[in-house]
């Protein structure tokens, strides 16, 4: 299933990413473009819609970053994909906001290599090298009472403990913000 970012959300996210590109470039020069334990979380709230994009090295989610070679590795991939689909467990939203999932889309060269069918017909078939396989996951939510959507508790660290830090770009009613999350500091506020 493929979930395109809604145009207004995409414009807002693209603006935030562009505005923060210089900072990201500096980070990559210092730490390398692909760092185990580190992931990126892009969060956009626009009215009743919430879009979350997670980009993470496969090592953060699987413990390895090459096409599964053993039955245990294939099972680890299957379990990770299953867990990544549990958006309500990974991102806790205020109950008063009445948010519901509109879908999850998972993209990775490892899924192609493994033959998994986690991507839709419009999936980009570019291949990332086995040495640096990443996952890109898109989550979409719609909320009945968006005024109550004032926070997101990120529980990803509990499900994927190899994820140590998330670099967050947040776009919401109060503007654009950049922050870092860890297992001990996992709350985003709008």
- Are 118 and 106 contacting, i.e. CB atoms less than 8 angstroms apart? yes
The conformation of residue 70, written as its DSSP 8-state character, comes to S
pLDDT in tens, 106-164: 999 998 766 543 444 333 434 434 446 899 999 999 999 999 999 999 999 999 999 99
Please tell me the pTM assigned to this model: 0.78
Mean pLDDT over all residues of the chain?
82
User: Is residue 109 within a helix (H) or strand (E), and if so which, with residue range?
Assistant: helix 109-114
User: pLDDT: is 62 or 115 the higher one?
Assistant: 62
**Could you give the strand order of the β-sheet that contains 187-189, starting from the edge strand earlier in sequence?**
91-92, 151-154, 187-189
* DSSP annotation string for 82-105: HHHT-HHHHEE--GGG-EEEEEEE
Could you say which DSSP state residue 76 is in? H
| Residue 133: predicted pLDDT | 86
Instruction: Give the pLDDT of residue 30.
Output: 42
């Amino acid at each position: 299933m493929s979930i395109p970012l809604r145009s207004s959300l995409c414009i807002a996210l693209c603006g935030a990413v562009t505005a923060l590109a210089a900072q990201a470039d500096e980070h990559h020069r210092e730490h390398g473009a692909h760092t185990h334990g580190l992931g990126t979380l892009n969060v956009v709230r626009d009215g009743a819609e919430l879009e979350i994009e997670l980009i993470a090295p496969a090592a953060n989610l699987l413990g390895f970053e090459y096409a599964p070679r053993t039955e245990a590795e294939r099972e680890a991939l299957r379990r990770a994909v299953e867990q990544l689909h549990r958006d309500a467990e990974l991102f806790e939203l205020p109950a008063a906001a009445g948010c519901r999932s509109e879908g999850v889309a998972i993209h990775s060269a490892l899924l192609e290599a493994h033959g998994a069918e986690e991507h839709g017909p419009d999936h980009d078939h570019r291949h990332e090298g086995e040495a640096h396989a990443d996952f890109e996951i898109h989550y979409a939510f719609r909320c009945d009472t968006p005024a109550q959507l004032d926070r997101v508790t990120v529980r990803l660290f509990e499900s994927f403990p190899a994820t140590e830090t998330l670099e967050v770009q947040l776009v919401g009613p109060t503007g654009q913000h950049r922050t870092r999350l860890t297992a001990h500091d996992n709350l985003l506020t709008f």
